[in-house]
Amino acid sequence: MTSQEKIEEYPFVDIFNEDEAEKNFMLSKPVCFVIFGKPGVGKTTLARHIAQEWKCIRVEALTILEEHITKDTETGVMLQSMLFSGQSIPDELLIKLMLEKLNSLEIAHFGYIITEIPTLAEDALTTLQQIALIKNLDLKPDIIINIKCPDYDLCQRVSGQRQHSTTGYIYTREQWDPEVIESRRKKKKEAHKEGKGDEEGEEEEEQEEEEAFIAEMQVVAEILQHLVQRPEDYLENIEHIVKLYKDMILQALEEIMAEHNPQYFIELDGNLPPEDLFTIVIERLKYLNLRRAAVLTKLQSAEEEMNDAMDNDELFRTLAAYKLIAPRYRWQRSRWGRSCPVTLKEGNIYPGMADLSVSFLGKMYCLSSEETLKAFSLNPRPYLLPPMPAPPFKVFVFGPPSSGKTTLCNLLAKYYKGKVTTSSS
């Protein structure tokens, strides 16, 4: 059963009750996407556009590897050493890292978009096991997008791609082939003549178009000598990969798509330009009553300085006017005031810093350190859901030596999930 068919716990929410609407949003599931299609059909390009517009996280192997290496984590150091020694990354490790990302706090708030599962490689998991992995995710996909394209059209398009040897940019045949560019120019010129009569200034327009065409051909001539064809773009290779996709994966994917709620299933024509595919998806999403992830905005930039010693009223009056999203709109003060919501969740009261202030769902929050800001930015929901905010309850236990103070404190801390501090600590 898909997530849309489940009965919501709070089906009706008073949108004019600010607290109720905010609570309902933070209890809601983020929107998750899966894109299916033949290799080279344009899944990654579409995913990049959707992630940028919908504010969800693209879960791709290369991005996850780069993230670990950049942050210099223990896994990142291991990956870097493997790459430097010329080893390939095992599929088991890639799947493990992708699952960790899919179960992270960041995904729990922003949602995800997947394009690389299932894959043709079956070294770690078979195709059916990979599909079962998608079905058994804690956050199951809400939207399934399938990009269809005839084999011949796809093979011709992919085999016409060239990569710039220096920049790595991929050029399509329409961008680098002089014959295709000339043919497109002639068709445009003929259509222009048919649509216009004898008007003044027509010769000037033709001259401008001719100059633009000459400039375009000069650019093509410059890049043409740097373009190379990747092995995976050879016609025989792409035909082989498409055949493997149809033999190994297609039938299992068709069963998933047939089981999915048709209202949340989007099928696209892969022959359309990427911009048109993105426009179609966004138009469909407008009518599905889905919520985008709420993004945090850091209110104070690095160039601006603010004195932490100013009183709370003055601080919030100043912050309320930063980075406004509309004229006369001002950020509101949250019930946390200046207390850091992250440390308060842990049972400690620390005042937030002025230069670590953020806005979320129209309210201002002050964080106490870079670590709490990072945790809050990944997923603010755990720190804002009821019964928070609640000041920590502190108990002072005293008595003569060996009277059982430590035992009593440990029992109370275990029952109330608290923390024991002593004078010695």
pLDDT (tens digit per residue) in 261-309: 999 999 999 999 999 999 999 999 988 888 888 888 888 765 556 666 6
Q: What is the pLDDT of residue 6?
A: 43
Question: Would you state the pLDDT for residue 415?
Answer: 85
311-340 confidence digits (pLDDT tens): 777 888 888 877 777 777 888 888 888 889
- Asked if residue 365 has pLDDT above 80, the reply is yes
Question: How would DSSP label each residue in 331-384?
Answer: PEEPTTTTB-HHHHHTT---BPPGGGEEEETTEEEE-SSHHHHHHHHH--HHHH
Please check the confidence at residue 2 and state whether its pLDDT lies above 70. Answer: no
Least confident residue range of 176-180, 197-201, 379-383: 197-201
Q: What percent of the chain lies above the pLDDT cut of 70?
A: 88
Q: What's the N-to-C CA distance of the chain in angstroms? A: 52
Please report the pLDDT score of residue 301 as a whole number: 63
pLDDT digits (tens, 9 = 90+) for 45-79: 999 999 999 989 999 988 899 989 998 888 889 99
Residue 261: what are its φ and ψ, rounded to 5°?
A: -60, 120
Q: What is the largest CA-CA distance in the chain?
A: 108
**pLDDT(5) > 70:** no
Is residue 203 scored above 90 in pLDDT?
A: no
Query: What confidence score (pLDDT) does residue 4 get?
Result: 44
CATH class of 27-161+233-287: alpha beta
Q: What's the pTM value of the predicted model, to 2 decimals?
A: 0.80
Count CB atoms within 10 A of the CB of residue 46: 25
**Separation CA 363–CA 25 (nearest Å):** 14
Write out the two tokens for 52: 């940028």
Q: Which residues contact 206 (CB under 8 A, 6 or more apart)?
A: none
Arithmetic mean of pLDDT, 232-252: 92
pLDDT above 80: residue 189: no
- Half-sphere exposure of 19 toward its Cβ, with a 13 Å CA cutoff? 7
Q: Which residues pair with 57 in a beta bridge?
A: 112
Q: What is the mean pLDDT of the chain?
A: 84
